[in-house]
C-alpha cells in the first residue's frame, strides 16, 4: 500500500480556473486509473500563494501510482494549472513534476492498513447481505433463518 501527498504551486492567474475545473468535475478522474484508490483529494489551499494539494492512498507502490497518474490526461489537465517550466501534458514530465513536489505524509489515517480496496468492498457487500437477512429474520423462523444464512453465506 502506498500514500502520496503532492503540494504544487498554482499559477496565480490560473487559480480561479483551477477551482472551477475541480468543482465542475462530474466524477473523479481517478476512476480511470488501473489501480485501486482508497482515498484521494484535490484541494486548492492558500499557503504562501495558491497551492494544489493532492493526497491519495492506494494499493500499489508510489512509483506505479505516480506513473499511472501521469499518463491520465484528466490529471494532466488539472496539474497544467500549476507553475512549471515544462509541458505537464507529457506523462514523463508530469511524473517527474509530481515526484519533485511530493511530500512525506505527516500523518496517515489507515483504519485497515493491510486491507485492499477490493477486500473493503467485499466486506461492505457482505455486511449489506447480512443486514438484509436480519430484516427478513423475523418472518423466517429458526429453520428458515439457518437455511437462508447458509444460502447467502456459503463456505
Give the pLDDT confidence of 36-76 residue by residue, as tens digits. Answer: 788 889 999 998 899 999 999 888 889 999 999 999 999 99
CA distance 101 to 61: 17
pTM of this prediction?
0.69
C-alpha dist (Å) from residue 38 to 31, 34, 123: 11, 13, 14
CA distance 92 to 48: 28
Low-confidence residues in the chain, pLDDT < 50: none
CATH for 2-103? 3.30.70
Alpha helices in 25-116 (DSSP H): 62-70, 73-79, 91-100
Amino acid at each position: 500500500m502506498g500514500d502520496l501527498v503532492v503540494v504544487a504551486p498554482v499559477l496565480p492567474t490560473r487559480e480561479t480556473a483551477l477551482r472551477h475545473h475541480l468543482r465542475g468535475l462530474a466524477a473523479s478522474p481517478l476512476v480511470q486509473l488501473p489501480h485501486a484508490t482508497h482515498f484521494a483529494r484535490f484541494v486548492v489551499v492558500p499557503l504562501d500563494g495558491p497551492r494544489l494539494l493532492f493526497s491519495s492512498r492506494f494499493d500499489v507502490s508510489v512509483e506505479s501510482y505516480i506513473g499511472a497518474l501521469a499518463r491520465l490526461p484528466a490529471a494532466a489537465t488539472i496539474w497544467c494549472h500549476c507553475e512549471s517550466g515544462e509541458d505537464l501534458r507529457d506523462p514523463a514530465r508530469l511524473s517527474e513534476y509530481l515526484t519533485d513536489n511530493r511530500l512525506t505524509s505527516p500523518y496517515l489515517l489507515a483504519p485497515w492498513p493491510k486491507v485492499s480496496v477490493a477486500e473493503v468492498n467485499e466486506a461492505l457487500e457482505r455486511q449489506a447481505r447480512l443486514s438484509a437477512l436480519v430484516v427478513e429474520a423475523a418472518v423466517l423462523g429458526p429453520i428458515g433463518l439457518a437455511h437462508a444464512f447458509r444460502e447467502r453465506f456459503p463456505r
